[in-house]
Structures are given as C-alpha cells and as structure tokens.
Structure 1
Amino acid sequence: MVFGIRTAFCGLLGATALVAASSSAQAAGNLNLICSADVVVCELLENAFEQETGVSVNMVRLSSGETYAKLRAEARNPRTDVWWGGTGDPHLQAAADNLTQQYESPRQSELRDWAIRQYEASGGKTVGVYAGALGWGYNRDLLAAKGLEPPLCWADLLKPGFKGEIQIANPNSSGTAYTALASLVQIMGEDEAFAYQKALNDNVSQYTKSGSAPVKSAGRGETMVGVVFMHDAVAVAAEGFPIEAVAPCEGTGYEVGSMSIVRGARNLENAKLWYDWALRPDVQSRLKEAKSFQLPSNKLAEPPPEAPDFDAIKLIDYDFEKYGATETRRALLERWDKEIGASAQ
C-alpha cells in the first residue's frame, strides 16, 4: 500500500492558516478533550488551540482502550466532547456502538485516501489524523553486550536470547497492542497467531498499560525490545537513546490514528471547531515539534523527515472495518485474556 509519505510541502499553508485562524479567533467557552497520543503531543495541541481560539481546554490523556471504556461508561451522561488520536480500531468500535456522532469537516477534500476511508467506514463518525506502521525498537547496546543478532522478523522475537527481554502493551488498554494482535491474526491466521503469542509470552517481561512505554523502557536499558509503532521507536532514538526501529520482514499492520466527536457532546460547537482546526495542514505540520513522527492525514501538511518510509515497509492490507468491529474486537480480547493474559508473567 503506498501512502506517498514524501508529499511536498505546499506554499498555501500560510494563507490557509491565516484564514482558519481568523474564523476561529476569540471563540468562547470550554472543550473537554481526551487525547490518546503521547502526552507531549497532547500538551502541544492543547496549548496551541487555547492560544489561538480562547477556548479553555480540559484535556485528559488516556490510552485508546481506556478511552473507549470511559465513553461506554458515560454514554448516558457524556463528559467528553472530542477524542483525538489513538489507534483507529477503538474509534470504529465507538462509532458502531453509537458513542460518537457524524461530522464532515470542510477540510475533508484535503485528506489522504486512508483518512477518508476511515471516515467512510465509520459512517462519518471518525476520521484519520495520522498513520503509523507497527514494528519495534531494540536497544543496540544491550543487543551487542549479549552478542545477539538484531530481531528483524516476528519469528526472531521467539529466540531464546530474548527471554525476559521483550515488552509489549496489554491489548485491553492499548490500541498499539490491539493492532499488534489483529495484525498477527491477519498475517498468520487466528490459531497460529495465538500459538505465536503463547510462545512469545516466554520472552515477555511485562505487558504495559501504555502502547509507547515498551520502547521507552528499551531506551533506558530496562528491556532489550519494545513492540510499538515504529514512529515511537524513532522518537526515542531522536532523544539520543541507542534505539533502532524495525519493520518486521513477514509484514506488519498499521494504525490510522483517528479523531471523533462524542455523541451528546456538551460543547458541540467547540468540538467542531477543534475538529476542523486539528485537520489543518499547518497544525499537523507542527506535531514534529513534539517529536511526533507519524504521517499526517492532510496532504498539504509537511511530514517529519524522520518519519518511517511507508514505501519501504511491507504493509498488510489491514482490515479496519472487521478488526474495528465490536464483536471481532471483543472476541479477540476475550481469547487473549484467557490464553495469554491469564498466564502472563
């Protein structure tokens, strides 16, 4: 699948930003936001939106799985207006469960095909804001100290040398880990994927709550390998840690980080204001300031030069509709809890 990551930066950004800023300046009131990206990204967006619009943002950082659970729990009395970021599968599940509402932004025509497909798959209730490929990051210093070869394939992670040296998140709380689970099922078939994960469990030291936590631990030397989205590994490497990012040789899935307006949002107009603002090319181009190295969804945005090259990655034809569906997701997570989680170290 070709995403065209090296899209040229468009000179219209300045004019576009000026027009958008003037239309949203001095907006009043509040916005209750859940952000499922790295906290540094969340804070950058929160502060920039507040400064430009005058809207007071009440931001909470939660993982994708936690956010979905929160929206379900508050369905009769929503306390959230907008959910920004995190893997697209739980956004699709929230849409299917009628927890979010339809909205079409005037920016729709500027978006990449995969962002629009996410919108269409959800019945207009969510949209893609960025994309990132699944892989892992390994600590090259720890690897060298043990005399191990770099793990370049999913099969390599099962080698005895990595016993107790791998971290991956729990798919119940982490969209990253659910993407890994769904990707393995699509690559191997369900039974083989669960057999693989049972074998992998012998090498896993911890199932973390956050999807990006494993590679941060690898950067600090607390574990050798963290299974994450590749851009998270690139971000840790950009901070000076000895991390190498890997796209697995057998193929891998990817995320379409998404954005949704919550059904029954108390601050609906400001939710729409955020939605349109977050799709602007100049806003998406700023994410690299927070070391966010995903591919932005607006074709006019400037991708970070450090972003993994999607054209060089063997991407599977990830079935977002199927694996974002409530029944599929619930069945996979229940099986994971029974066969993997119950025996986790």
Structure 2
Amino acid sequence: MSCFRYARQASFWLASAALLASSQPAAAQGQVTVYCSILEEQCREGATMFERATGIKVSMVRKSTGEVYAQVKAEASNPRGDVWWGGPGEPHLQAAEEGLLDEYRSPKLAELHDWAQRHAEQSKFRTSGIYLGALGVGFNTEMLKKKGLPEPKCWADLLDPAYRDEVQIADPSSSGTAYVFLATTVQRLGEEKGFDYLKALHKNINQYTKSGIAPVKATALGETAIGIAFIHDMLTQKLQGAPINTVAPCEGTGYETGSVSMIKGGRNAEAARRFIDFTLSPEAQNINAKLKINSIPSNRNAELSPDAPKFSEIKLIDYDTPRWGSPAERSRLLKKFDTEVKALPR
C-alpha cells in the first residue's frame, strides 16, 4: 500500500472517529423540547440551525406566550417541555416566581447588553433577555384611505368613534404582546384612568385574538384597519410588501424584553442548557436580520437590522417589567381585564 493511500485511509478513519465522537454526546442527550413564542419562521430556522450544529433533535411547539405559560404551569408535576423560547418577559418572570423555571447562568451572559444582564439578575437567573421590542400601532394605509379614516398618531386617537370595529389586539390572557399593552396603559395613566381608557377602546375592538402576531397579519391582509402590536413585527410585514405604516404613540409606550427560560424538571436538562446558550449567541440572534425581523438583539455581537426601530427616536415610558411580571400583579390585572373590559358589550 502506498504511503499516500495509507495516509488517505488513515485520514478517513480519523475523521470518521472524530465525527462519531462528536455525535455521541448529542445522541446520548437525545432531543430537546422547545416551546416557542416568537414567530414561527424564527422557530423553524432556529431549530434547524441547532440540530445541524449539535446533532440534538429539536421538538418544536409554537404557541403564544400566555398559552405556553399556562401549559408550563399545567405540566408542573410532569414537565414535557425543556425550554421556553421567546415572548415578553412578564409571563417568564411570573413562572420564575412560581417555581416553574430552573436557574441557569449561561456563559453567554457576559456577551449581552446591560439591559439583558439586568433582566437575568432580576429573575435570579431563571430567565434571560434575548431581544427588545417597542409596542406601537400599525395601520393599513389602503384601508384607511378607502374608508376616509385619519392615520392615528397617539394612543388617545384610537378612541375616536370613527374607528369602531376597526382596531384589533390580542387577548392579554393568552398573548404576552397584549399584556404589555395592558400593563403599559395602567402604568401610563394610572389604574383607574387606564381601565377607563381600555373600556372606551373596547368599543372599537373588532376581535381579541389568541396570538399577538394575529393582529399584525390581519392588518397586513386588510382584515382590520389598525392593529396594536410590537413595531418590529409590523415592520416585518411592511418590508414584505404589505401596505402598513407604524407609529410609536405620542404619549410614550412600553416595550418587551423577549426572554428564554429553562423549564424546571425538564427531561433533557443538558440539551436545554445548550439550546439556551444557542439562543443567546450571535448566530441565533442573527436569524432576525436574516428574516428581516427588526427587534433589538441582546448579544452585543449580533447584527442589528438597518430597518430596526431606532429606540432613540421613540418616546419610551420607564416600563416596570419586574412589577408587571410578578404573579400577584399579573394575575390581578388579567382578572380585572376579563371582568371589567372584555365582558362588556360592544
């Protein structure tokens, strides 16, 4: 056998052995079950990237933030999920306080912006920040023009009787997006005036959807004239050609700290930790720029889409995420919304 042929075969077997060795830990860990509360496209792309990088099989379930919180709570005695990926931080913080999440200090935390590191510290490292998104209003320009309706500029504008049955938002009990709106309204106006505003707005709501992304897509399709959602989600639809404009309301607005958490008692703890490390990495967060999703990534080394909202140009309130994410406050507000607002006739 020639030296060249021997060396080539040796290289082949060494490479095969290395591949086998690298795949053995992933095979031993089996899979990771991820409850995903970001856009479905992000969920799919992230799962594919992680599987290719690690060999660990991802079982992905896409649900709204409130639905995942309810599922994690219902499964507390027999957890079926390992990771909760995405969605506003308040339900994550509530789950953390209720003992539904495990502490995990990812080595990637040092790479994150200060606001994301503070979010992890506030949760006692039971959840970590992966993106920021400002709440706002999106409107279908063609529908407003066709119906002769003005373009809203402020939260107060949405109470105009001309918008009756023209505004859509999700249900805060099932949607983290809508809960941020509920909490923003209460913080901005005070509880009494805030609920007066919500009752008045109720007259103009055509539907409380299950998912926070539903009003975004309905606005893009012309199924509703106005949607209340995160500005970056509306911008994604605009960049895809939908006749949408967005506005950060003039009075000021709240924002979400998108989060990722490790579910307590999950069956695949090591794989879960590796998946969380992945979500905090630049590679995973660059999915946003790739898919033209314009939230603000938490990793300092991740790409920021040139189309992302400029937070310096948005009037933000000093949104109190830990307060609105506390179990007592969140449960109380949701119950009050159901009984005093959602139950009203329109």
Say whether the fold is shared (TM-score over 0.5): yes
2:297 match: 296
Q: Which has the higher Rg, Structure 1 or Structure 2?
A: 2
- Tell me, what secondary structure is at the counterpart of 1:196? helix
Which stretches in structure 1 are left out of the alignment for 5+ residues? 1-21
Q: CA 1:31/1:288 → structure 2, altered by over 3 Å: closer, same or farther? A: same
Question: How big is each residue's C-alpha offset from its partner over 1:100-128, in whole Å with a ceiling of 9 and x where there is no partner?
Answer: 01111111111011111111111110000
Q: CA 1:344/1:228 → structure 2, altered by over 3 Å: closer, same or farther? A: farther
Match of 2:91, as an amino acid?
P
- Tell me, what secondary structure is at the counterpart of 2:206? strand
| RMSD over aligned Cα atoms | 1.3
2:196 match: 195
Matched, 1:155 2:133: no
Provide the rounded CA distance (Å) in 2 between the counterparts of 1:108 and 1:50: 22
Q: CA 1:25/1:205 → structure 2, altered by over 3 Å: closer, same or farther? A: farther
2:5 match: none
Asked if the contact 2:202–2:342 (Cα under 8 Å) also holds between the matched residues in 1, the reply is no
Match of 2:279, as an amino acid?
A
Identity of aligned residues (%): 50
Match of 1:72, as an amino acid?
K
Which stretches in structure 2 are left out of the alignment for 5+ residues? 1-18
Deviation at 1:344, TM superposition (A): 5.4
Asked if the contact 2:116–2:128 (Cα under 8 Å) also holds between the matched residues in 1, the reply is yes
1:146 match: 147
Asked if the contact 2:184–2:253 (Cα under 8 Å) also holds between the matched residues in 1, the reply is yes
TM-score by length of 1: 0.91
Aligned length: 323
Match of 1:137, as an amino acid?
G
- 1:225-304 matches, within 5 Å, as 225-304=226-305
1:12 match: none
Match of 1:214, as an amino acid?
P
Provide the rounded CA distance (Å) in 2 between the counterparts of 1:119 and 1:276: 13
Provide the rounded CA distance (Å) in 2 between the counterparts of 1:153 and 1:83: 33
Match of 1:273, as an amino acid?
R
Matched, 1:223 2:224: yes
Asked if the contact 1:25–1:52 (Cα under 8 Å) also holds between the matched residues in 2, the reply is no
Provide the rounded CA distance (Å) in 2 between the counterparts of 1:320 and 1:287: 23
Match of 1:182, as an amino acid?
A
Deviation at 1:219, TM superposition (A): 1.0
Asked if the contact 1:138–1:215 (Cα under 8 Å) also holds between the matched residues in 2, the reply is no
- Tell me, what secondary structure is at the counterpart of 1:343? coil
Match of 1:237, as an amino acid?
K
Provide the rounded CA distance (Å) in 1 between the counterparts of 2:329 and 2:196: 18
Asked if the contact 1:136–1:215 (Cα under 8 Å) also holds between the matched residues in 2, the reply is no
2:344 match: 343
Match of 1:232, as an amino acid?
D
Match of 1:62, as an amino acid?
K
- 1:85-234 matches, within 5 Å, as 85-234=86-235
Q: CA 1:76/1:246 → structure 2, altered by over 3 Å: closer, same or farther? A: same
- Tell me, what secondary structure is at the counterpart of 2:343? helix
- Tell me, what secondary structure is at the counterpart of 1:151? coil
Deviation at 1:265, TM superposition (A): 1.4
Match of 1:284, as an amino acid?
Q
Runs of 4+ off more than 6 Å:
none
Provide the rounded CA distance (Å) in 2 between the counterparts of 1:161 and 1:141: 16
Asked if the contact 1:133–1:253 (Cα under 8 Å) also holds between the matched residues in 2, the reply is yes
1:8 match: none
Deviation at 1:25, TM superposition (A): 5.7
Q: CA 1:311/1:76 → structure 2, altered by over 3 Å: closer, same or farther? A: same
Match of 1:189, as an amino acid?
G
